[in-house]
Amino acid sequence: MTVGDPEGPKGRFRNKLREKDLIVTVELSPPKGTATEEILLHADLLREKVDAFNVTDNQRAIMRMSPLALSHLLKERGLEPILQLTCRDRNRLALQSELLSAYALGIENFCFMTGDHPLLGDHPTGKPVYDCDSVQLISLARGLERGEDFAGRKLSGVPSFVIGAVANPLAEPLEPQLIKLRKKVAAGIEFIQTQPIFDQEPLEKFLEMTSGLNVRFLIGITPLKSARMVEFMNHKILVKPIPMAVAERINKAKDPVREGITIAAELMAKIKSYVSGFHIMPIGLERELPELFEQAGI
């Protein structure tokens, strides 16, 4: 592919999004340190089924290697990254230059989010930035595609991005989040990756409420692996607790990891006919994903 050439051949993720095929993305976290081998190995094992890998950006405000570096390493291996970019650590200059840098390295997919507050992470004494919010960051990126930076200055060489954002079907209350989602769509996103869901019913409600939006939803899936993880997710991550029936199955299982994969696969199999795709957040279960895909019939 000719980098920077808007007419050049585009990636698998972009094509599948536009052709409305079922998409599978998997989240990878850069290392805290410099050891990338294992992460890249995991990605390699998933090459066939996975269309693109989200590379997180100091996720949960925990300092790690930059997603730009890991995205580049994936790209070098012929794998497709989706670079996650938060508004927490960079002002409008740094955000724009990050987008241009990534594009120069052949990275075209991005997922934008506000980013967890530094107080929640491992550097709580750091200064939060939030110069832009997620909606503004989308506009900023779309602006670059028109050949101008935020200040209205002309660019030499114009990028072409595939831009997505995040949403939580289980948000409580949902309406203010839906307003924000509509603004993200209006600002120019093509896909949404959702927070993990654990049952069908609230998802269906959410999809119905957002059916008028011209955007593709990749549904968040996190296989549960232990009773402790259920506890942790309920307390630290999720807005609504994991359904009792699901938690019970994990608690009672002889092999909770297998059970977690089966639960996730059952859900995926049930909903795959009416969603645009899946966004898997494996949290340490990367090696089990081939089994997940097989059980889900993907």
Partner 1 sequence: MIISQQKLLPDILQSLDGSDVVVIIGCGTCATQCHAGGEEEVQDMKRELEGVGKAVPLSFVLESVCTTQKTKKELTKKSTFIEEADAILVMSCGVGVQTVAELTEKPVFPALDTLFIGSLRRVGHYEELCALCGQCILEYTGGICAINQCSKGLLNGPCGGSKQGKCEIIDDRDCGWYLIYERLKQRGKLYLMEMIHQPQDFSKGQHPQKITLGREMLKKK
Residues contributing to the site for partner 1 (CB under 8 A): 87, 92, 113-114, 116-117, 119-120, 128, 130-136, 139-140, 150, 166-168, 171-173, 175-177, 179-180, 182-183, 186-187, 195, 239
Cβ distance to partner 1 smaller for residue 122 or 255: 122
Cβ distance to partner 1 smaller for residue 35 or 151: 151
Q: Give the shortest CB-205-to-partner 1 separation in angstroms.
A: 18
**Burial code of 225-258, b = ≥16 C-beta within 10 A, e = fewer?**
beeebbeebeeeebeeebeeebbebbeebeebbe
Cβ distance to partner 1 smaller for residue 4 or 128: 128
Cβ distance to partner 1 smaller for residue 175 or 201: 175
Torsion of CA 223, 83, 167, 17, to 10 degrees: -90
Q: Give the shortest CB-215-to-partner 1 separation in angstroms.
A: 16
Q: Give the shortest CB-120-to-partner 1 separation in angstroms.
A: 7
Return d(Cα 96, Cα 51) in angstroms, integer.
26
How many Å from the N-terminal Cα to the C-terminal Cα in the chain? 28
Q: Give the shortest CB-96-to-partner 1 separation in angstroms.
A: 12
Cβ distance to partner 1 smaller for residue 63 or 93: 93
Angle CA 218–62–39, to nearest 5: 60
H helix or E strand, kind and range, residue 270 = helix 256-271
Look at residue 27 and give its three-state secondary structure.
Answer: strand
Q: Give the shortest CB-139-to-partner 1 separation in angstroms.
A: 7
Q: CB neighbours of 211 closer than 8 A, spacing ≥ 6?
A: none
